[in-house]
Chain A
Amino acid sequence: AQSVSQHNHHVILSEAASLELGCNYSYGGTVNLFWYVQYPGQHLQLLLKYFSGDPLVKGIKGFEAEFIKSKFSFNLRKPSVQWSDTAEYFCAVNDYKLSFGAGTTVTVRA
């Protein structure tokens, strides 16, 4: 099974700052890539997904992610965060089953 690494455990930002969360997975082949978000007290929701095609994918709420095959990476970005982006973010990789990273807690200060 894939091993998924998220680079940061906890990120603290001010509103309007840019956000980038790193994600690497352990081996190549055909994979589907996802970012999920979990707002406090809620279940996981899909932010964006990559299956094939353009390696720069756009998701909901202004998030985007870039797939770099040679680096086994799928980093999440948002140019300008809002207080409402405070949440836990999970990268996930699906080859024959979905493997999650440990998650990154993002705290946005107003």
Chain B
Amino acid sequence: DADVTQTPRNRITKTGKRIMLECSQTKGHDRMYWYRQDPGLGLRLIYYSFDVKDINKGEISDGYSVSRQAQAKFSLSLESAIPNQTALYFCATSQGNQPQHFGDGTRLSIL
């Protein structure tokens, strides 16, 4: 089983819809992160959480929200999806400042 599991792996939806991407981990790490990857822009941090009661905005949080339901679960929501949110989304975990471990990604297309 994967250590960091993202669901769904692929999603196509329409503008204005609410979308939730889920991430769960079995590594016992305290920190969890959501990134989006766009060609030529690398990975940009959307939100991060250092523990269950700690949620922080990253560099591109507008239009997104998150929930850390448990140490092992961190979900990302798009309240009203728009086409420029079409991207590859990655969840990652780390224990403190140790290297991050990434999920397989969710490819999201918004029409």
Contact = CB atoms under 8 A, between A and B. Distances in A.
A16 to B, nearest CB: 28
Contact of A9 (B40, B99, B100, B102): B40
Interface string B56-72: 10110000000000000
Contacts of B99: 34, 46, 49
Chain A interface category by residue count: 20 to 34
Interface stretch (B11-19, B43-51, B78-86): B43-51
Nearest to A44: B102
Contact of B97 (A43, A45, A94, A99): A94
Interface in A1-26: 1, 4, 6, 9
A102 B41 contact: yes
B104 interface: yes
Given A1-B59, A43-B90, A98 B104 contact: no
For B42, B100, B105, the residue with the greatest tally of chain A CB atoms inside 10 Å of its CB is B42
Interface in A61-108: 90, 94, 97-103
Nearest to A48: B99
A98 to B, nearest CB: 6
B74 interface: no
Interface in B6-58: 33, 35, 40-45, 48, 56, 58
Interface of B: 33, 35, 40-45, 48, 56, 58-59, 90, 92, 97, 99-105
Q: Which 3 A-B pairs have the closest CB atoms?
A: A102-B42, A43-B102, A100-B43
11 contacts: A4-B42, A9-B40, A42-B104, A43-B103, A49-B99, A94-B97, A97-B48, A98-B45, A100-B43, A102-B42, A103-B42
